[in-house]
Structure 1
């Protein structure tokens, strides 16, 4: 399975971008292309025309990702949800591509950006789901390990509020007291 990440220019320098993790882990099985409104990527357009290509795009799917028969190449739009909608609308070559969607069993663990869609996944999580659906659990696990190490430094998990400085100090005091008793 080949993955093409059609990436918005604003994503390239963001430390929160997870598309780069996909390319890092999957190597030649993944490529990151810079999206350009005026100049479509010629090689990608050729591959779309040849067939066997699908676009992962939420809510407008022809079918779920569980049925990937005949698909050997998946395109993902690597950007914010708002930018992804615009990229899709402004890219005529994507309009007639077979579409697939995901129905993830778990909520996203992605915690590096605010205002995420409740049912949405980040780029790396989408690729992990597809890898698992196609039986490539080894690369799915490798990507998951890399993804978790990428989001861990953020120090928070989606849906859990950050502790106040006062509660952190109180907890630290209790821990220090317990350590002294030893």
Structure 2
């Protein structure tokens, strides 16, 4: 089973429209929510990074060759759970994230999540990203369950 670390911006924890909570609800113990702090990174996350067990799901400037294939080489995948503006700041202010190998999603479907402004082209919400990763990892039942929950979340 794919293990995900949601590196969550502190403001995201209180947002009613946060989709990271859906990922946690569906995947339960296969997701670890880590609140991001610029000056005090999570020690367990840093230990996993040092052991080269972690990949970062983040848009890459490199070629698409690194896309889904490296997904299976990591024990954990980090998804930054924040608005796109916050995610970029978190990435830029965290040298340990910049040093991580990136897993970029290619040929991702258009986002169905309309609840945030200033979305980047091709950007997905946290739940959509996790669902796509699960699907690529052969966990289609979990992916479907997560997308169904997201649809209900959007409609409510």
> After superposition, where does 1:134-145 map in structure 2 within 5 Å?
134-145=137-148
Taking structure 1 as reference, are residues 60 and 86 closer, same or farther at Cα in structure 2, changes over 3 Å only?
Answer: same
What residue is the counterpart of 1:176 in the other structure?
none
After superposition, the CA RMSD in angstroms is 1.4
Deviations 1:5-28 (Å, cap 9, x if unpaired)?
111111111111100110111000
CA–CA distance in structure 2, aligned partners of residues 61 and 70 of structure 1: 18
SS at match of 1:21: helix
Q: Tell me how far apart the structure 2 counterparts of residues 124 and 61 of structure 1 sit (CA, whole Å).
A: 24
Runs of 4+ deviating beyond 4 Å: none
Provide structure 2 residue ranges, at least 5 long, that are not aligned to the other structure.
none
TM-score after normalising by structure 1: 0.80
> Highest CA radius of gyration, 1 or 2?
1
Aligned to 1:106, what secondary structure does the other structure show?
coil
CA distance in 1, matches of 2:10, 2:124: 20
Correspondences of 1:154-165 after superposition (within 5 Å): none
Deviation at 1:138, TM superposition (A): 0.9
Q: Which has the higher contact order (CA 8 A, sep 6+)?
A: 2
2:153 is the alignment partner of 1:150: yes
TM-score by length of 2: 0.92
Q: Which residue of 2 aligns with 1:130?
A: 133
Residue 4 of structure 1 aligns to a residue in which SS? Answer: strand
Alignment match, 1:19: 20
The 5-angstrom pairing of residues 49-128 of structure 1 reads 49-60=50-61, 63-128=66-131
Is the 2:4–2:31 Cα contact (8 Å) retained in structure 1?
yes
1:114-144 residue CA offsets vs partner (Å, 9 max, x unmatched): 2212311000000001000010001101111
Work out the CA distance in 2 between the residues paired with 1:137 and 1:58: 23
- For these two proteins, the number of residue pairs brought into alignment is 153
CA distance in 1, matches of 2:50, 2:62: 19
